[in-house]
Structure 1
Amino acid sequence: MLRRSVLSLALCLAAVPAFAQQTTIKFTLGWKTQGSDAFLFVARDKGYFKEEGLNVVIDQGEGSGATVTRIMSGAYDAGFGDMNAIIQNASTRKGEAPVMVYQIWNQPPFAFSSKKTTGITSPKDLEGKKLGGSQGTPTVRMLPVFAKANKLDMAKLNLINMAPNLQEPLLIKGEIDAAVVFNITSYFNLILNRQDPEKDYNWLSFGDYGLDLYSNGIMVSQKLLKENPKAVSGLVRAINKAMIDVAKDQDVGMKAVVNFDNLVNEPVEKRRLQFSFEKLIVSPEMNEIGVGDLKDDRLKKSIGLVAEGYGLTRLPEPSEVFDRSFLPPKAERALVYTKK
């Protein structure tokens, strides 16, 4: 009888290896729950993480730059955050900064937003205008680099420091002429303030005027990278599968978003999700190399731009901030976006 009990227990344990072998990954979002994070929740709900032997625990974030410091502190293993913040930290703390393993936002969200009535349609029009920006943000830190690239006189750019949550209200009131913003944030702050960001506002993207930077993607800690590369590969595969799903059907993505956080404004967040594909993810370069990858020569140039903006004394090599070795084959990363 005892031998039968032991045998039965052994058979039961053998029948549930997935639970015993799961690797937990603590993952931080770039901000609060947003539609543009849909791929993560789809990967969770469809079991893509579980198929890779992963238990991915997702928490809300405090900013895409803070993702880097959260991971460096050891509190998180991976997250969705800004490549440029990795570059800054890799410059001063070599071998400690997280590494991007799946580049998602191929185009930078850094932009100027202005009412069309102000007539700001080119960088030169910014001279002599009141600009509202939040000190320390990438858009403000990179403003001198933008000015240099576009032959603007910094002395003629009247920058007013303000909290990020005041930028759109003061822009609406006309107390500033333009706001120095993240377009994926400001565009929807305007919508939530009953504005029409398409009809009534102009947008000047840094990427269109000389600052061809990469932005947000999936980054992992140095510890996870070295100690469990299999888990990193699984994380990237699962997210890639979900990205392809969401590109085809945003309703699938939004169902997963609401399942994670039922307090989100679903119509607004669905529009934000589509905006992320249309303005930040899909590009000629992405169509050429597939989602998740980047071009090393472009990254090297952007490292130089970030170094100039932040006064970095050491320029990290592209290999220090991006590792493509975990990417699925290009054919599996052919993303086709269909607005739905």
Structure 2
Amino acid sequence: MQHRYSRRSAALILATAVALPLAASLPANVQAQELTPIKFVLDWKLQGIHAWYYLAEDKGYFAQEKLAVTIDQGDGSAATVSKVMAGAYQAGFGDVNAIIQNASVKPGAAPVMVYMIYNRAPFALIVKSGSPIKSLKDLEGRTLGTPAGSAAGRMFPVMAGKSGLDVTKVKWTNVAPNLQEQLMLKDHVEGAAVFSVTSYMNLVAQGVDPDKDIRWFHFADHGVDLYGNGVMVSQQLIKEKPQAVAGLVRAINKGLRDTLADPDAAIAALLKREPLLNKELEKRRLMYTLKTVMITPEVLAAGVGDVSDERLARSIVQVKDAFELARQPAPSEIFDGRFLPPLAERKISAK
């Protein structure tokens, strides 16, 4: 993302603020007091798509930045925004489109994205491959399911608006997050608005071939040019502790790049926190996510973590129009690229 000031200069200032080493003679209890505590909330229960945070923790990347990061599970990527706004967390992994909605009505309170991870929003609508729903227009008169407050459900009108679908003719049913695929498969609902990176592997776990047994309507394939999940922080944290924000982004960036280099090590770090997870399933989920929503031509060119100014502006307009927001936030209210490491540290290659 381009800025009027020098990102390199800003990065040097921030790096200097966090790079002063602690005196070796300080006792351990004093060193511990020097760590900045950050409460970080995920978008969902532990999955392979969260592995890089724990790999970063195990490798000491947070500690190197003088951060004491506590990572909690979440209950929705849009809910991450609400939790940061409420002050329960200073940072989290959640949906940039929910930031746009909240920034429209509470510009001084909405968190700011500082490191984009899902370059392509993983929103999708799924139906069984044998369903008579073969186009988005066929959804009219149908009953769809999605968890209350889910980002996919909230963003459905964006896709509908681009496709000529009358949203007033679609009935929605709130379903439990862990049952949405199962209820669709058993015909309790005719389709489900989901996070593709979660649902794909949930279907695999239920013995369904998601490539053959399911028809996918990816929002990104139907005129929705949105970004997805990334690392967001509170405006208060940016104002009071910018060096901590820069350190958090650097540590996560290192963990993500290490995950790309060694996915098995990342999954091992995840399993240390939740041994009951299926190792092979979560690795497959991780690799599916990397392939479908993270490693895109834009990311290969601009590095992981950044956004395109023009695309972000377009996505803000899409969200504003779909939700009839009274105010259109500026891109600078949604994404702040000052804390990104240099491109050389964010550059990745196609696998």
Question: What is the TM-score with the length of structure 2 in the denominator?
Answer: 0.87
CA RMSD of aligned residues (A): 2.2
Match of 2:223 in 1: 210
Q: Work out the CA distance in 1 between the residues paired with 2:24 and 2:222.
A: 64
Q: In structure 2, do the counterparts of structure 1 residues 242 and 230 end up closer, same or farther at CA, with 3 Å as the change threshold?
A: same
Letter in 2 for 1:94: P
Equivalent position amino acid for 1:202 in 2: R
Moved more, 111-120 or 255-264: 111-120
Instruction: Check whether the contact 2:123–2:219 (CA below 8 A) recurs between aligned residues.
Output: yes
% identity of equivalent residues: 49
Residue in 1 that maps onto 2:322: 309
- Label 1:11 to 1:222 Cα distance change in 2 as closer, same or farther (>3 A): closer
Alpha-carbon deviations, 1:206-228, whole Å to 9, x = none? 01111111111001111110111
Q: Residues of 2 paired with 1:334 and 1:186: CA distance?
A: 29
- Over 3 Å counting, the alpha-carbon distance change for 1:178 and 1:201 in structure 2 is same
Q: Does 1:113 align with 2:126?
A: yes
Displacement after TM superposition at 1:93 (Å): 0.9
Task: Name the TM-score, length of structure 1 as normaliser.
Answer: 0.89
Is 1:185 equivalent to 2:198 in the alignment?
Answer: yes
Amino acid at match of 2:119: N
Question: Which deviates the most, 220-229 or 163-172?
Answer: 163-172
Change (3 A) 1:142 1:74: closer
Matched, 1:221 2:234: yes
Q: Residue 159 of structure 1 corresponds to which residue in structure 2? A: 171
Distance of 1:170 and 1:314 partners within structure 2 = 37
Task: Find the counterpart in structure 2 of residue 278 from structure 1.
Answer: 291
Q: Confirm whether residue 139 of structure 1 aligns to residue 130 of structure 2.
A: no
Aligned to 2:60: 47
Equivalent residue number for residue 30 of structure 1: 43
SS at the partner of 1:117? coil
Partner-residue secondary structure (3-state), 1:13: coil
8 Å contact 1:101–1:218 — kept in the other structure? Answer: yes
Unaligned runs of 5+ in 1: 1-9
Maintained 8 Å contact 1:105/1:214 = yes
1:162, distance to aligned residue in structure 2 (A) = 2.9
Contact 2:118 2:294 survives alignment (8 Å): yes
Please say if 1:322 is aligned against 2:335.
yes
Amino acid in the other structure paired with 1:171: M
Partner residue of 1:98? 111
Helix, strand or coil at the partner of 1:39: helix
Deviates more, 1:146-155 or 1:125-134: 125-134
Distance in 1 of aligned mates of 2:30 and 2:252: 23
Structure index of larger Rg: 1
Q: Which residue of 2 aligns with 1:7?
A: none
The gaps in structure 2 that reach 5 residues or longer are 1-22
Residue 102 of structure 2 is aligned to residue 68 of structure 1: no
Residues in 2 aligned to 1:118 and 1:11: alpha-carbon distance in whole angstroms: 66
Partner secondary structure for residue 124 of structure 2? strand
- CA distance in 2 between counterparts of 1:337 and 1:44 reads 25
Post-superposition CA distance 1:80-108 (Å, at most 9, x none): 11101111111111121111100000111
Provide Cα deviations, 1:4-31, integer angstroms capped at 9, x if missing partner. xxxxxx9842788743422111111111
- Render the CA deviation track for 1:249-274: whole Å, top value 9, x for unaligned: 21011011011222322222111111
Give the deviation of 1:109 after TM superposition.
1.2
Residue 177 and residue 104 in structure 1: after superposition, are their counterparts in 2 closer, same or farther (change >3 A)? same
Separation of aligned partners in 2, 1:135 and 1:73: 19
Q: Indicate conservation of the 8 Å contact 2:79/2:149, yes or no.
A: no
Aligned to 1:249: 262
Q: Kindly indicate whether the alpha-carbon contact (under 8 Å) linking 1:107 and 1:215 is maintained by their aligned counterparts in 2.
A: yes
Equivalent-residue separation in structure 2 for 1:252 and 1:337 (angstroms): 19
Which secondary structure does the structure 1 equivalent of 2:110 belong to?
Answer: coil
Distance 1:17 1:160, change over 3 A: closer
CA contact (8 A) 1:121 1:204 kept: no
Within the alignment, does 1:239 sit opposite 2:252 as a pair? yes
- Once the two structures are superposed, what CA deviation does each residue of 1:170-223 show, in whole Å capped at 9, x if it has no partner? 221234332222112222222232211122112111011111111110011111
